[in-house]
Structure 1
Amino acid sequence: MNRPLVNRARLGQSGPIMCLPALLPAVALVLAAGASLAETTLFPPPSGRTDEELLIYSSLDSDLARPLIAAFQRTHPDLAVRYEDLLTGALHDRIVAESQAASEGGGGGTADFVFSSAMDLQVKLANDGFARPVVTPDTANWPDWANWRDTVYALTFEPAVFAYHKPSFAGHPPPATRADLIRWLAEHPEEAQGRIGTYDPARSGVGYLFLARDQELYPGIWAVAEAMGRAGVRQYATTGELLERIADGRLALGYNLLGSYVTDWARRHPDIGLILPRDFTVVVSRVALVPTAARNPARGAGFLAFLMSPEGQELLSETLRLSAVSLEVAGQPTPAGGMQDLAGLRLKPVPVSPGLLAYLDQATRARLLARWNRALSGR
């Protein structure tokens, strides 16, 4: 049984949690907002013989998830999969709202399986009692940094990269370090103005995590932010929005983008290039859990076991270009999942641990976002 590491009201207990009549209107608003943000894809059962369903909430684009689901359904032909693609913050809020409604008797539960790139929010769900322990056949061999109390599992090993528009750098190489980036912004103002993009840390969970890690690892990050601000940096909530603009040249460069998405887009858009920063490379993971209030936790645990299996890890590594956590797969000749050899880089992985909760402290978050905005504005 997991014990929380911070004080809080547990589900179903008296205390700060509102009683049912007061809670339900707030829950309804959150659920309605979450539903409006979700992009739902239904994968029918291959056998066509049943209406049994696995419900997944995920921040991974449905097109990237498709081969994973197809492989899972080959061994579960009677199971439909309802896949809801959400922004990371909306995903977290929806799990909380649906779980609270279920605990008060006002709802039928939540997703069976949750997969998100916002590591901090996933650990918070577990720490706040919204994730159940699951032991899979591969748990015993899973790296310690990638497993917290058998409730939260890191399944990928993904660098933050620079993405760039190749024709925009035809006359000179793209930046390979943060110092190079500052230099390029200063020496090529006409090329750079309004053509550098990054995540909006106020709207993107992974963008905020990258900013927090940059601040911890690199004292010069605010000089980078100030240089990007002078160049009229554009901020977006999703990787797709950034890569669309890099592909057609509206943006020349994207800072700190999830490497998995960049690699996938680069395969289909030859004008997109990728750089693994040579000064240091932040590495994050997509993190999975089975909610306490899952409608069918056994199905969620089954999908988790599949993704942790050698077959699931190989699919993540090779098909989706998401580097695998599994030591068996990571030991193969292409450990970077087809991205680029990670050897020789100063890799800075983020462990799955309660230390991530520090990023979610509201006062800390407000200070970091305020400093980011001040740096961009040159104040």
Structure 2
Amino acid sequence: MQSGVIAALVSLCLWATPVCAQEAIAQFGAPTTSGTALVVRSTTDIAILAPALTAFVAANPRIGITYEQWGSNALYADGLAACEGTEASADVVISSGVHQMVDLVNRACASPYASPFAATLPAARKWRDELWGITQEAAVTIYNTALVPAEDAPQTRFALLDLMRRQSDHYRGRIATYDVERSGLGFLFAFMDSQEATTFGGLLEGFSRVDAVATCCSAEIIKGVQRGDYLIAYNVLGSYVASVPHENLGVIYPKDYTLFLSRALMIPKAAAHKEQAAQFLDFLLSPEGQGILAQSNLVQHLDTDASPLPQSAQRYIPIDLTLLVAMDQHRRASFVAKWRATFGAGAR
């Protein structure tokens, strides 16, 4: 974060109430009295998105940004309340819980906008001129290179299954993943696995065998692997892994398939500053904005010589109506029940 651009960083909220459910707040830019204070609510860590926010307000000095960092489930609830008119709306909402964003758009909570840059997006990263995928991030497996032998590092889900069968005692309580009840992103990754992979049932069985840990968030999981609390972590957001030092952190893009997420951006129908919100979207989708996001590891290309992953192994989570299956209450209840049966007291 550049000095002089961020006016203040407000301390964390201690209670997740409707009034104060955000985790942190930062101010970017200082608009004139005739300018606009754009409210952006997002699940993206402030430090990771800061370069793009800084560049936008530098290019648009009449627009300042109040950036609120939220958890995905709380942000979804806030989006519903704003749509119903019971809470003040943000001007821009960005979430890794893409299935939740599709649900909000399907409930007519979004304002349409024909962005000139949307034409360059793949079909999987846009929907109805109301929802746009601004990033491209891989779900990876990470491991502690000082504590996990190279031959144990699982390059595929089949290898992870085999490892949990062969060395269950060694890895007991030392494998982690997201808690699907606390993390909208974790639920989405796990649900997509259940739709994509024949190995999913075996993974749940393996996680149960080794007393795997389900926990809340990317930063906690990554730090846990670095410290050696966990030896391996599954389905971790690769962009967050790339933003921390790698002295003892190995990163695997599973060769059977690697999921790719695009954080979804929506301009709410009750947004007070829709024109400026559209400017912000255009900036993020522009070549300049995408370049900045790539430098922050939020746009990852893994089919190059430096990061070989064939197209056949890349699975993009689509931003479309098919994700509403993940929002079905009965399906979710059944999925969560299986998850609880797997992790039990291992969830933290």
TM-score by length of 2: 0.88
2:296 is matched with 320
The one-letter amino acid of 1:177's match is T
Aligned to 1:90: 74
**Residue of 287, 293, 298 corresponding to 2:275:** 298
The letter for the 1-side match of 2:233 is G
Distance (Å, rounded) in 2 between the aligned partners of 1:361 and 1:120: 10
Deviates more, 1:162-171 or 1:273-282: 162-171
Deviation at 1:309, TM superposition (A): 0.4
- Pair 1:70 & 2:49 matched: no
CA 1:294/1:94 → structure 2, altered by over 3 Å: closer, same or farther?
same
**1:343 counterpart = 2:320:** no
Structure 2 counterpart of 1:368:
335
Q: 1:271 to 1:94 in 2, by over 3 A?
A: same
Report deviation, 1:339. Answer: 8.6
Aligned pair 1:43/2:32, yes or no?
no
2:17 maps to amino acid: A
Residues 101 and 48 of structure 1: is their aligned pair in 2 closer, same or farther, counting only changes over 3 Å? closer
Asked whether the equivalents of residues 34 and 94 of structure 1 are also in contact (C-alpha less than 8 Å), the reply is no
Q: Is 2:53 the partner of 1:53?
A: no
Deviations 1:317-366 (A, max 9, x none): 1x111226xxxxxxxxx666999333355111111111111110110100
Report the equivalent of 1:162: 141
Structure 1 residue 147 corresponds to structure 2 residue 126: yes
How far does residue 48 in structure 1 lie from its aligned partner after superposition? 6.7
> Greater Rg, structure 1 or structure 2?
1
Counterpart Cα distance in 2 of 1:124 and 1:246: 34
Of 100, 103, 116, 2:95 maps to: 116
- Measured in 2, the distance between the counterparts of 1:34 and 1:345 equals 45
**How large is the Cα RMSD of the aligned pairs?**
2.4
Aligned residue-pair number: 331
Residue identity matched to 1:224: L
Q: Distance in 2 between matches of 1:338 and 1:203?
A: 37
Post-superposition CA distance 1:184-240 (Å, at most 9, x none): 223333431111100011111111111111111112211111111221111112111
Please state how far the C-alpha of 1:33 moved relative to its aligned partner. Answer: 3.6
Deviations along 1:280-330, one digit per CA (max 9) or x if unpaired, are: 11222111110001121112111101001000111111x111226xxxxxx
How far, CA to CA, are the matches of 1:338 and 1:306 in structure 2?
29
Q: Which aligned runs of 4 or more in structure 1 are off by greater than 4 angstroms?
A: 47-51, 334-339
- C-alpha distance in 1, partners of 2:337/2:252? 29
Alignment correspondent of 1:238: 217
Rounded Cα–Cα distance in structure 2 between residues aligned with 1:344 and 1:153: 22
Q: Does 1:248 align with 2:219?
A: no
Letter in 2 for 1:64: I
Letter paired with 1:278: K
* Partner SS, residue 254 of structure 1: strand
The answer for the alignment partner of 2:238 in structure 1 is: 259
8 Å contact from structure 2 (residues 213, 343) kept in 1: no
Q: Compared with structure 1, are the counterparts of its residues 279 and 171 closer, same or farther at alpha carbon in structure 2 (3 Å cutoff)?
A: closer
Deviation larger for 168-177 or 300-309: 168-177
Moved more, 166-175 or 116-125: 166-175
SS of the counterpart of 2:177?
Answer: strand
Relative to its length, the structure with more helix (as a share) is 1
Which residue in the other structure is 2:191 paired with?
212
Task: Please name the residue that 1:24 is paired with.
Answer: none
2:27 partner letter: L
1:91: how far off? 0.6
- Say whether the 8 Å CA contact 1:31–1:98 is kept in structure 2: no
Q: Match of 1:40, as an amino acid?
A: I
1:3-14 to 2 correspondence within 5 Å? none
- Structure 2 gap ranges (5+): 1-14
Which residue does the alignment assign to 2:9? Answer: none
Of 31-40 and 76-85, more deviation after overlay is shown by 31-40
* Partners of 1:281 and 1:345 within 8 A in 2: no
Which segments of 5 or more consecutive residues in structure 1 lack a partner in the other structure? 1-29, 325-333
